[in-house]
């Protein structure tokens, strides 16, 4: 990552474990590499988390009001990830003990 990208990721990630869609757009536009995970909460809702390369923490996507963005239907959460995180290096969907993945590994083609 370039110094500018590192600085942007540090600024974006300075907030405690939450990102807005705009925060992510800024980091991604500067070439930041990140992965996305769709997973179910204990309450049965589906959430999306982002993890930047070189950072230990995952960051929940939040709404404009500051709440964690959540869906009742897994298909809606996956659609949101498909539409908004096209530049993610990897996308994971965790269903119970299963990990389903979309990776940018071209070795299987």
Query: pLDDT 10s digit of each residue in the chain, 109 long?
Result: 444 444 444 444 444 467 777 776 776 666 678 899 999 999 999 999 988 888 778 888 888 888 899 999 999 999 999 988 888 899 999 998 999 999 876 545 4
User: Phi, psi at residue 64, to the nearest 5°?
Assistant: -65, -25
Q: Is the pTM of this model over 0.75?
A: no
- The span from the CA of 46 to the CA of 57, in Å, is 19
**End-to-end alpha-carbon separation of the chain, Å?**
27
Query: Residue 88, by phi and psi: left (phi above 0), alpha (psi -120 to 50) or beta?
Result: beta
**What's the confidence (pLDDT) of residue 31?**
66
Q: Which two tokens stand for residue 84?
A: 């908004």
**What's the confidence (pLDDT) of residue 79?**
95
- With beta carbons less than 8 A apart as the criterion, state whether 62 and 12 touch: no
């Amino acid at each position: 990552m370039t110094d500018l990208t590192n600085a942007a990721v540090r600024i974006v990630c300075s907030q405690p474990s939450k990102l807005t869609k705009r925060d992510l757009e800024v980091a991604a536009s500067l070439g930041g590499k990140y992965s996305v995970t769709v997973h179910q909460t204990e309450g049965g809702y589906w959430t999306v988390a982002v993890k930047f390369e070189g950072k230990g923490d995952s960051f929940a996507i939040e709404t404009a009001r500051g709440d964690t963005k959540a869906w009742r239907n897994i298909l809606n959460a996956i659609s949101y990830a498909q539409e908004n995180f096209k530049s993610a290096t990897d996308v994971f969907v965790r269903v119970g003990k299963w990990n389903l993945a979309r990776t940018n590994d071209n070795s299987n083609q």
